[in-house]
Structure 1
Amino acid sequence: MTTANRPARLNRGLLGGLGVLLAVAGALLIAAHLGAFSRISRESPLVPGTAEPHPVVFYLAVAGAVVLALAALRWLAAQFTRMPKRTVWNLGDTGEHGRTQLASSTAAEPVAADIESYDGVRSVSARLSGSGLAPELHLLVGTDPDADLTALRGRILEHAVPRLRTALELSAIPVAVEFRIADRGRVQRTK
C-alpha cells in the first residue's frame, strides 16, 4: 500500500541507523578511554606513522564521498515526493479484442477540478493509488488562511468523493486529505 507520506519510513530508517551507529561508536570510544581494551594504550598515537597512504586510499575516499553525496541527493529528492505514484488500470476483459486502460490521473483530474471550484481553495493535487477495484484517493489542498477547513473537508467528502465513487462504480474509496494553508501576504498566481 502506498501512503501519502512515503519519505517518513526512509527518514526514520536513516535517522535510526545513524543514531545506532553513533551510539556504538561513542560507547567504543568511551570504553577505549577507560582502558577496557588491552591492545589499545591511551598513550599510543591515533594513526601508526606519518607516511602518506597508498594512492588507492585517496581514490576510495573520493568514491565513498561520491556515494555518500548521491545517497544524500536521493534522500533530498524523497522529501519532495508527497503523493503516491500514478498507475494505469486495466478495465474489463483482456481478450482477443484488446484491452481498456485508464490512467489513475485521468480519473483524479475531475476531482481536483471540483475541489478547486470550492470557496477558499487555491490549488489541489489529486492522485489515485492502488488497483482499479480498490483505489485510494490522496488530496493535497492549498487553502486561503481564513478558509473553514472543517466545512471544506465535509464538502469534499459529501460532494467530490461521491461523484468519483459514482464515476468509478465503487461503493467506497478511502480518502487522505492534507491541507496546506497559504501565507496571508502571498499573492496567488493563476494559470
Structure 2
Amino acid sequence: MNRFSLGLLGFVLLVAGGAAVAVHLGRVPQVDRNAPVLPGTALPPAWVLWVVAAAAVVIALLCLRWLAAQIPRRKVASWRWADEAGTTRITTATAAAPFAEEVTTYPGVRKVEAALTGPHTAPRLALVVRAHGDADLRGIRRRIDDEGLPRLREALGTPDLHATVEFRMSASKAVARTH
C-alpha cells in the first residue's frame, strides 16, 4: 500500500507538472498562458517568500534522505584471522550463505536472506525469512535458535553471535487457485 500510494502521488505530480509546462509553452489552446493563476497581482511580503523557499529546501533534503535510504547497502565486508598457521580471510556473505541455505530447508520456509555485520569479534546476524502463510513461525524460530545458530557460532568461533529474525509471509502453498 505504501509503494502504491507513493507511486500514485508521484504520477499525479508528474501529470500536474507536465500540464503546467504545456500551458506555459502555449500548447493548451483552451487556457490563456498569460492569465494569472490566482486572483490579485500583489506579491506577498518578502518574509513569506523566504519561509516558502526554506520549507521547500528542507522538504527536498528530507526527500533526498528518504530516497537514499531506499538504496540497498550491500557492502561486502571481509573478516580476517591471523595465527601461527597463516591468515584466513572470508567475506561475510560467504560465511552466511551456508546458514541461509540450511534455514531454507526448514518446513514452511521459501527463502532466506542472511547478512553478517560488525567485526568478527562481535558479529551480528540479520535474517529475513520468507515463509509460507501456513508455516509454523515458532517452530522455524526454535530450529534457528536450537540447530542453526549453534552450528554457525561454532563454525565462526563466535559464541556471542546475536541474531535478529524478520519473518515475511506469503500466500499459503496449500491454497489452490480458482479460475
Deviations 1:90-145 (A, max 9, x none): 2115xxx9853221111111111011111101111101111111111110101000
Tell me, what secondary structure is at the counterpart of 1:92? strand
Of 128, 133, 139, 1:140 maps to 128
Q: CA RMSD in A?
A: 3.6
- Provide runs of 4+ in structure 1 moved above 6 Å: 50-53, 61-64
**Equivalent of 1:112, from 72, 81, 100?**
100
Residues 12-55 of structure 1 show CA distances to partners (whole Å, capped at 9, x for unaligned) of xxxxxxxxxxxxxxxxxxxxxxxxxxxxxxxxxxxxxx6779xx
Q: Name the residue aligned to 2:23.
A: none
Structure 2 residue 66 is the aligned partner of structure 1 residue 78: no
After the TM superposition, which residues 178-189 of structure 1 pair with which residues of structure 2 at under 5 Å, given as runs? 178-184=166-172
- TM-score, L = length of structure 2: 0.58
Tell me, which stretches of 5 or more residues in structure 2 are unaligned? 1-40
- The percent identity for this pair of structures is 45
Q: Distance in 2 between matches of 1:70 and 1:183?
A: 38
TM-score when scaled to structure 1?
0.55
Query: Quick one: which amino acid aligns to residue 181 of structure 1?
Result: M
Distance in 1 (alpha carbons) for counterparts of 2:57 and 2:88: 45
Structure 1 residue runs of 5 or longer lacking an equivalent are 1-49
Structure 1, 97-106 or 63-72: larger mean CA deviation: 63-72
Partners of 2:124 and 2:61 lie apart in 1 by: 32
Q: Match for 1:87 among 68, 77, 80?
A: 77
Count of aligned pairs = 132
Paired residue secondary structure (1:118): coil
